[in-house]
């Protein structure tokens, strides 16, 4: 299929003609100040000193979780430790265990469009993405029919599927993409925008940047390798799933981007400690990439333990996306990113849900989430298809879990890991009041704990950061 009807965005009040080959630029403006803002570990060789300086989310110890909300805004849960400190790093392991235990909450089909060029996955100019994959559901459908909410789903000229989100009397009705933007959709955007001169690529840094030099994504992004227990040592259980890489690559011979087939990836290099400091696990330690039946994997999410195919990777949410990478996609096609108010309204599912899942509860049946978090060891899984599990009553998938999703709002604060974030500090502006202000990032992800999917969980991050659990979806303007 080809998207010959796709409208090329008018940029800076002038029309860009097709076929322009983008000039290669450094594109480091969005991330040059501090290596701590980079994506997990770059595939390029970083020095040990550079690696240790990186500021990565400490999910298991909750010592530097991004954007912990003000606790009084979160519904009271059983076994929640009393008198939590301002800095959650002060929690004892027993208190963290109680926190984790308290978070357990009991409680019309579109046609499949098959893209061309699946062999090398290098789409030609004008090719439409496969946006409506019908992913096999792994869990029984949860009945929300008694809510009497009418889904209003539409497909626009770009073949994106949108759901109508009715007004709540404060936020006007709007249309939101039913899924997170997938790898395949983002790949099509990159190749088209690159040819149009809308983005640039630096082969040395593997950074893709927008026309203003803001860093959009790092093609060198790979899994987190860190001392999760903060005990000064690295062991096998500190290591995260090697499938958490950026699967988009650049082909110099064709001057285009493509999705790398997992079976063609040189997985052994990710276990080379000269390239990735402090790596202590081995290729055979991971079942999905090595085939070792005794290897680690998230059996609750990937029961077969097999390596994902390239066709599956195409349906995963695009990850390692920085805020500017999400906004560039939206701008290019004439969409927008949702505001925090829009995102939370959609997460309520038209039924005033407390959590952004298909039925408003928090458990693995309805969300790709680390049900056992926070704690050690880190979650051993990875992202999953964007159109999976069940949609909420409005027809929207995975607002809670899978990947955190960027919003349009700036956040009036500079401390990414502070616990006192409040909804009132979100604001909309073309430019931030303070260049160090954060951007809204909502919904939790596959490796975070269930409470992050709450509509009370106020979250924000540096717009120049994007790792294996950062993605986005769009809304219509």
In DSSP notation, 383-413 reads: ---SS-S---TTS---SSSSSEEEEEEEES-
Check pLDDT > 90 for residue 352.
Answer: yes
Q: Dump pLDDT digits (tens) for 130-182.
A: 334 333 333 233 455 566 677 899 999 888 999 999 999 999 999 999 999 99
Check pLDDT > 80 for residue 477.
Answer: yes
Helices and strands in the chain: count of H runs, count of E runs: 7, 17
Confidence band of 191 (pLDDT split at 50, 70, 90): very high
Confidence band of 229 (pLDDT split at 50, 70, 90): confident
- 292 contacts 282 by C-beta, under 8 angstroms: no
- Give alpha helix (H) positions in 236-370: 287-290, 310-315, 323-333, 340-347
Mean pLDDT confidence for 231-244:
93
Going by the DSSP 8-state scheme, the letter that residue 248 receives in this structure is E
Check pLDDT > 50 for residue 38.
Answer: no
Query: What are the E-state strand segments in 161-255?
Result: 161-165, 174-177, 199-202, 207-210, 215-218, 221-222, 248-251
Mean pLDDT confidence for 339-351:
97
| Alpha-carbon distances, residue 250 vs 193, 297, 405 (angstroms) | 14, 28, 25
H/E stretch holding 94 reads: helix 93-102
Nearest to 343 by CA among 242, 238, 457: 457
> What is the structure's pLDDT at 101?
45
- 24 contacts 348 by C-beta, under 8 angstroms: no
Mean pLDDT confidence for 228-247:
93
Check pLDDT > 60 for residue 228.
Answer: yes
Among 220-234, 267-281, 372-386, the range with the most confident prediction by mean pLDDT is 267-281
Six-digit token pair at 145?
Answer: 């029919």
Q: Which 3 state secondary structure label does DSSP give 310? A: helix
- Kindly report the pTM of this predicted structure: 0.74
Contacts of 449 (CB under 8 A, 6+ apart): 59, 100, 103, 369, 370, 371, 373, 374
Q: What is the spatial distance between Cα 339 and Cα 427, in angstroms, rounded to a whole number?
A: 9
Nearest to 237 by CA among 247, 226, 248: 226
H/E stretch holding 460 reads: strand 460-461
Nearest to 76 by CA among 101, 102, 100, 104: 102
- 89 contacts 418 by C-beta, under 8 angstroms: no
Q: Dump pLDDT digits (tens) for 405-429.
A: 999 999 999 988 676 789 999 999 9
Q: Dump pLDDT digits (tens) for 117-133.
A: 333 333 333 333 333 43
What are the residue boundaries of the structural domains of the chain, listed by start?
A: 1-477
- Give the CA-trace dihedral at 361, 91, 54, 43, to 10 degrees: -50
Transcribe 355-387 into DSSP letters.
BSSSSS--STTTS-S-TT-SSSSPP------SS
Confidence band of 3 (pLDDT split at 50, 70, 90): very low
- 288 contacts 243 by C-beta, under 8 angstroms: yes
Q: What percent of the chain has pLDDT over 90?
A: 61
Going by the DSSP 8-state scheme, the letter that residue 89 receives in this structure is G
Nearest to 415 by CA among 92, 99, 86: 86
> What is the structure's pLDDT at 192?
97
Q: Phi and psi for 158 in degrees, rounded to 5? A: -90, 5
Confidence band of 363 (pLDDT split at 50, 70, 90): confident
Q: What percent of the chain has pLDDT over 70?
A: 69
Six-digit token pair at 38?
Answer: 């980079």
Dihedral angle sign, alpha carbons of residues 461, 327, 383, 47: negative
> What is the structure's pLDDT at 419?
67
Q: Which 3 state secondary structure label does DSSP give 40? A: coil
> What is the structure's pLDDT at 144?
55
Establish whether the linkage from the previous residue to 374 is cis, with ω within 30° of 0: yes
> What is the structure's pLDDT at 345?
98
Strand 475-476 to 335-336 pairing = antiparallel
Mean pLDDT of the chain: 77
Q: What is the spatial distance between Cα 395 and Cα 343, in angstroms, rounded to a whole number?
A: 14
């Amino acid at each position: 299929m080809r998207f010959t009807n796709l409208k090329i965005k008018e940029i800076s009040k002038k029309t860009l003609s097709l076929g322009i080959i983008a000039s290669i630029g450094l594109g480091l403006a969005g991330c040059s100040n501090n290596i701590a803002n980079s994506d997990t570990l770059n595939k390029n060789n970083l020095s040990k000193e550079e690696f240790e300086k990186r500021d990565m989310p400490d999910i298991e110890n909750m010592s530097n979780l991004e954007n912990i909300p003000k606790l009084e805004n979160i519904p009271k849960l059983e076994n929640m430790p009393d008198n939590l400190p301002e800095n959650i790093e002060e929690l004892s392991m027993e208190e963290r265990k109680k926190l984790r235990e308290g978070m357990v909450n009991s409680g019309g089909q579109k046609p499949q469009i098959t893209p061309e060029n699946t062999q090398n996955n290098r789409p030609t100019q004008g090719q439409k993405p496969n946006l409506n994959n019908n992913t096999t559901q792994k869990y029984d459908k949860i009945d929300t029919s008694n809510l009497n909410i009418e889904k209003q789903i539409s497909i626009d000229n770009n073949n994106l599927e949108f759901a109508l989100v009715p007004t709540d009397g404060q936020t006007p009705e709007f249309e939101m993409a039913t899924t997170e933007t997938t790898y395949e959709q983002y790949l099509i955007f990159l190749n088209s925008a690159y040819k149009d001169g809308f983005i640039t690529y630096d082969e040395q840094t593997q950074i893709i940047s927008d026309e203003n030099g803001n860093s959009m994504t790092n093609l060198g992004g790979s899994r987190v390798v860190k001392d999760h227990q903060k005990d000064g040592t690295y062991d096998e259980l500190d290591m995260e799933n090697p499938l958490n890489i950026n699967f988009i690559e650049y082909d110099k011979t064709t001057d285009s981007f493509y999705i790398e087939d997992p079976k063609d990836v040189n997985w052994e290099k990710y276990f080379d400690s000269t390239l990735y400091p402090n790596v202590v696990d081995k290729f055979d330690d991971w079942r999905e990439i090595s085939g070792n039946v005794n290897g680690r994997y998230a059996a609750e999410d990937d029961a077969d333990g097999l390596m994902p195919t390239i066709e599956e990777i195409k349906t995963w949410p695009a990850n390692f996306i920085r805020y500017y990478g999400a906004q560039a996609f939206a701008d290019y096609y004439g969409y927008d990113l949702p505001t925090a108010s829009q995102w939370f309204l959609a997460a309520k599912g038209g039924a005033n849900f407390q959590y952004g899942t298909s039925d408003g509860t928090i458990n693995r049946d309805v969300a790709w989430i680390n049900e056992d978090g926070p704690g050690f060891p880190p979650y051993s899984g990875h992202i999953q298809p964007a159109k999976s599990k069940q949609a909420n009553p409005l027809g929207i998938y995975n607002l809670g879990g899978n990947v955190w999703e960027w919003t349009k709002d700036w956040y009036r604060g500079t401390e990414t890991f502070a616990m006192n974030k409040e909804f009132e500090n979100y604001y909309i502006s073309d430019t931030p009041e303070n260049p160090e202000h954060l951007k809204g990032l909502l919904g939790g992800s596959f490796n975070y704990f269930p409470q992050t999917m709450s509509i009370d969980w106020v979250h924000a991050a540096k717009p120049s950061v994007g790792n294996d659990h950062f993605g986005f979806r769009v809304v219509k303007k």
